[in-house]
Amino acid sequence: MTEITIEEQVWLAAMIDAEGWIGVSKVKNGISCRLGVTNTSNAILEKFADICEKITGNRQKFILHSGESFGTKSRIKKLCRRYIIHKQRDIIVILIKVNPYLVEKQGRSKIMLNYLMSREPYDRSVDLTKEKEVIESIQKLNREGEHTTLLEGGD
């Protein structure tokens, strides 16, 4: 693992805010935490993967999927790639680096960091109340956002 520059931390945070997600879902033994970015630009995703690899020492595989890109007159199916981080330790170290620079997803980052850092590595026990609270909190922020938009009367 290598230290990354402030510029790289800010760049990762901007990508997560603009093109990424901090997500959770219920699984058989508790919840699954994920951090990822989807984009049509190979160069952007390669840079994201390179910086994440510098922080964690691990490189994930890219996942291909087809998404819709909206043009002025028609919908165009465009091939996208996703870079998803699943490992608890990797998510923690990345979020610690980018959290100060996140804007829209800082609340989700804090919730996920608190949850992941409160768990022991490889702990398979399930605290259903805590995990339900984490899922509901992050899903609410995913639906509603963290900040008032200009259309809603914000500055």
Give the per-residue pLDDT at 51: 96
pLDDT digits (tens, 9 = 90+) for 14-59: 999 999 999 888 887 778 899 999 998 989 999 999 999 999 999 8
pLDDT digits (tens, 9 = 90+) for 96-129: 999 999 999 999 999 999 988 887 665 656 666 7
Give the per-residue pLDDT at 26: 80
Give the per-residue pLDDT at 153: 47
Residues 6+ apart with CB under 8 A from 44: 15, 19, 37
Give the per-residue pLDDT at 131: 79
Delineate the domains of the chain, giving CATH numbers in brackets.
6-143 (3.10.28.10)
When pLDDT is averaged across residues 127-135 and rounded to a whole number, the result is 79
Backbone angles phi, psi at 130, to 5 degrees: -65, -45
| The model's pTM | 0.80
pLDDT digits (tens, 9 = 90+) for 63-74: 866 555 545 455
Q: What percent of the chain has pLDDT over 90?
A: 45
Sign of dihedral through CA atoms 53, 111, 27, 22? negative
Among the listed residues 89, 112, 101, the one whose alpha carbon sits nearest the alpha carbon of residue 21? 112
Count Cβ atoms below 10 Å from residue 56 Cβ, excluding itself.
Answer: 20
User: Residue 87: is its pLDDT beyond 60?
Assistant: yes
Cα(133)–Cα(120) distance, integer angstroms? 18
